[in-house]
Amino acid sequence: MRDINWEEPYCGEGNNCFRIGIDDQGNAYIAVAGAEDAYVSDTREALRTLIRDIKAGKADHLL
């Protein structure tokens, strides 16, 4: 497993907690808290774009 520096969990209501991390090569990771070995990974720029798009409401149709 890669050496990932995980941030503290971001939690919604109940047990909906996610963690974001980066490795020493600058890759970004998202995982469910407690299941960090099953992550999604991409570049930091891709993660930045995802977060901006979510904040802009582009994923509201999923709610």
pLDDT tens digits, one per residue of 7-53: 999 987 767 899 999 999 989 999 999 999 999 999 989 989 999 99
Beta strands at 27-32 and 10-11: parallel, antiparallel or unpaired = unpaired
Q: What distance in Å separates the CA atoms of residue 45 and residue 26, rounded to the nearest whole number?
A: 10
**How much is the pTM?**
0.76
Q: What is the pLDDT of residue 12?
A: 79
pLDDT band of residue 63 (cuts 50, 70, 90) is confident
